Chain A
Amino acid sequence: QQQVKQSPQSLIVQKGGIPIINCAYENTAFDYFPWYQQFPGKGPALLIAIRPDVSEKKEGRFTISFNKSAKQFSLHIMDSQPGDSATYFCAVASAGTALIFGKGTTLSVSS
């Protein structure tokens, strides 16, 4: 059973658009919700992360929105650029456990 469901699988937006990637989870014990970005040939890199005590966190053009009651969180990329074209993974974890990753979203930003 998939512990975190990520959607969409792929996404194409125009430069300047705001792609939104969603993740849903079941286990209410999860208390760490990071997003990773992966470029071809590279390992994933932490982009931004949130804890359940806040509903939103912004870092530069990247924003996480967190809905504890719905058990969902999403990544928004403001003013997207061609350089943002990559695969994005959400993940979940609880204290002392390993990260469980979503299946990834391939984002293409066209110029």
Chain B
Amino acid sequence: KAGVTQTPRYLIKTRGQQVTLSCSPISGHRSVSWYQQTPGQGLQFLFEYFSETQRNKGNFPGRFSGRQFSNSRSEMNVSTLELGDSALYLCASSFLAPDTDTQYFGPGTRLTVL
């Protein structure tokens, strides 16, 4: 069974630009969550999607947005990039919900903002 895949793996952008990251969950998984990981703040929850609807949202500014498609694939978008957005962005999927089923993480997208 293929794991969670994320593309691209590495990305370099400049301040003010926008970026879109993609996540393909494990086949059959309907819940997709996104996290930002930085050395100082650790793993911070961005949002969770289930059946194309945002089910939970973390405490991030509106510049961070996401969506989920009917095949459960998900994208997250960051507009007007800031230097502080440099981080590893992790996608995770679970069958129904992260608190009832094992949540599997992808390898992440390393975003560098210059």
Contact = CB atoms under 8 A, between A and B. Distances in A.
B102 to A, nearest CB: 5
Interface residues of B, number: 25
A63 B25 CA distance: 29
Contact of B105 (A31, A45, A100): A45
Residue with the greatest number of chain A CB neighbours at <10 A, chosen from B33, B45, B55, B104: B45
The DSSP consensus for interface residues of chain A is: loop
Interface in B17-56: 33, 35, 41-45, 48, 55-56
Contacts, number: 56
A43 B4 contact: yes
A98 B43 contact: no
Interface in A25-72: 31-32, 34, 36, 41-46
Interface of B: 4, 33, 35, 41-45, 48, 55-56, 58, 90, 92, 97-100, 102-108
20 contacts: A31-B99, A32-B100, A41-B107, A43-B4, A43-B106, A43-B107, A44-B90, A44-B105, A46-B104, A89-B43, A93-B98, A96-B97, A97-B99, A98-B33, A98-B98, A99-B33, A99-B103, A101-B42, A101-B43, A102-B42
